Amino acid sequence: MSFKRNILCIGAGYVGGPTMAMIAHKCPQYKVTVVDINPDRIAAWNSDDLPIYEPGLTEIVQSARGRNLFFSTNIEAGIRESEIIFVSVNTPTKTFGAGAGMASDLQYWEKTARQIRQNACSDKIIVEKSTLPVKTAQAMKRILTCKGDDIRFHVLSNPEFLAEGTAIRDLEDPDRVLIGSNETPEGMKARETLVEIYANWVSREKILTSNIWSSELSKLVANAFLAQRISSINAISALCEKTDAEVSEVARAVGMDSRVGNRFLNASVGFGGSCFKKDILNLVYLCRRYDLKEVADYWEGVVKINEYQKERFVLNMLNAMFNSLANKRICLFGFAFKADTGDTRESPAIFVSRQLIEERAKLVITDPKALENAAFDLKDVVEWITFEEDPYRAAMECDAIAVMTEWNLYKDLDYEKVFHSMNKPAFLFDGRNILDHKALFQIGFNVFPIGKPPLTHF
């Protein structure tokens, strides 16, 4: 069968896999190939046990795999065959040298650019899907064109706004798709090619185009704004705990102002995920590089409040449990950084676990999708931990439960049963404010929500 276009995506991760599966699902006229250097990941994409958990993903992959969606490790062949190449490799925070702890580590991304240049034998449109610092497209163009032959490369920026846990819904019906390009006739033509792909299922009004630098910057700013809302309400939760105000009541009153809006105003133990912290620090680094100290400090505050919130959570546990956690059994309800994903990258549960182990507590960790990742994240302290999929068994003979992830399943448990199986006094620290605190208190728990007065029997 001949396809209208050959599309390649380099990087088969949380972004590359689902985004390409959606394009293939919606556009049977295109051949979509996803490649990765990690053969295990590719094997998993080709199996019934996909490498990531995302509601609805399996169905989308199964609808297209083998028809017009392919997963492969043959990166060179993919580059040669394709006219459009999405780059969706990881761009973590640099851990060494200049900008360590802040700037993006662009080594994977640069390696990809060089590989494209080496293997390309016809003109290509390169689409930045990874989140990158402003002006990366320029560097990419320079690497691609340094060979001096007459192959032409057009670099576009098309940042991904999907959220894990709702990736399929976000891809199917996005708030917007953003495409940045050079504003030259050739750049506009390349941009139109990408617009046409999305227009197969996204209405044209939702497909925004901009200059390439605005597009790169918009992704960092979007994540910074989202994280800022979480840190704002979390900062207020600390004040609520001192003043007997209730953070959910404050959030409701503030959020009903249509200028503010009510979403993303849930106080919690803090945000996690692979992107928020990394992207804000990247923004901070850029500001410092351009000598904008005040702007950098402002955004860095968002990350500092998040660290503070996690520390506060553990200190509250310690204070509540008579300043000693040694040999107490503490059960973590959830380990994923949010519900409906198995992803644990930067999950607050990692920090909380490590702090509790420092206090010599014994942990029981339960999560419906993230236990394998949790065991990997905590492999150096694993002798302090039991992993248990069943939440009832996990809570048995524990002194406390700490809710780390807002999985729906924790809302519907039989807490009478849980309470009776625990050591007394039984504590419950709700790091996501998802449970019915009054009901838990009536059962006998000592309940410590975020940003609300505790309910204790002492």
Ligand X SMILES: NC(=O)c1ccc[n+]([C@@H]2O[C@H](COP(=O)([O-])OP(=O)(O)OC[C@H]3O[C@@H](n4cnc5c(N)ncnc54)[C@H](O)[C@@H]3O)[C@@H](O)[C@H]2O)c1
Strand boundaries in 182-227, DSSP class E: 207-211
Query: What distances in angstroms separate CA 133 from CA 140, 159, 235, one per listed residue?
Result: 12, 11, 28
Give yes or no: 121 in active site: no
The CB-of-141 to ligand X minimum distance in angstroms stands at: 18
The CB-of-347 to ligand X minimum distance in angstroms stands at: 13
d(CA 455, CA 458): 9
Which residues, other chains included, contact 111 with Cβ-Cβ below 8 Å and sequence gap of 6+? none
Q: Any contact of residue 320 with ligand X (CB under 6 A)?
A: no
CB closer to ligand X, 107 vs 184: 107
Determine how many CB atoms are found less than 10 A away from the CB of residue 49. Answer: 9
Count of residues that bind ligand X according to CB under 6 A: 26
Q: Any contact of residue 90 with ligand X (CB under 6 A)?
A: yes
Selected range binding ligand X among 36-44, 168-176, 367-375, 414-422, rule: CB under 6 A: 36-44
Q: Any contact of residue 274 with ligand X (CB under 6 A)?
A: yes
Q: Any contact of residue 174 with ligand X (CB under 6 A)?
A: no
Task: Please give the DSSP secondary-structure letter assigned to residue 175.
Answer: S
CB closer to ligand X, 131 vs 237: 131
Q: Any contact of residue 77 with ligand X (CB under 6 A)?
A: no
Q: Torsion over CA of 179, 341, 407 and 174, rounded to 10 degrees?
A: 20
Write phi, then psi, for 261 (nearest 5 degrees).
85, 155
Determine how many CB atoms are found less than 10 A away from the CB of residue 296. Answer: 20
SS3 150: coil
Instruction: Work out which of 7, 8, 13, 284 binds ligand X, going by CB under 6 A.
Output: 13
Q: Any contact of residue 215 with ligand X (CB under 6 A)?
A: no
Q: Which of residues 346-375 bind ligand X (CB under 6 A)?
A: none
Instruction: Work out which of 7, 12, 23, 156 binds ligand X, going by CB under 6 A.
Output: 12
Asked if 143 contacts 128 with a C-beta cutoff of 8 angstroms, the reply is: no
Taking each continuous run of H as one helix and of E as one strand, the counts in the chain are 17, 14
CB closer to ligand X, 112 vs 181: 112
Whether the link from the prior residue into 425 is cis, omega within 30° of 0, is yes
Q: Any contact of residue 88 with ligand X (CB under 6 A)?
A: yes
User: Looking at 9, 27, 240, 275, which residue is catalytic?
Assistant: 275
Q: Any contact of residue 133 with ligand X (CB under 6 A)?
A: no
Binding site residues, ligand X, CB under 6 A: 10-16, 36-38, 41, 75, 88-91, 108, 111-112, 130-131, 160, 162, 164, 274-275
**What is the set of active-site residues?**
275
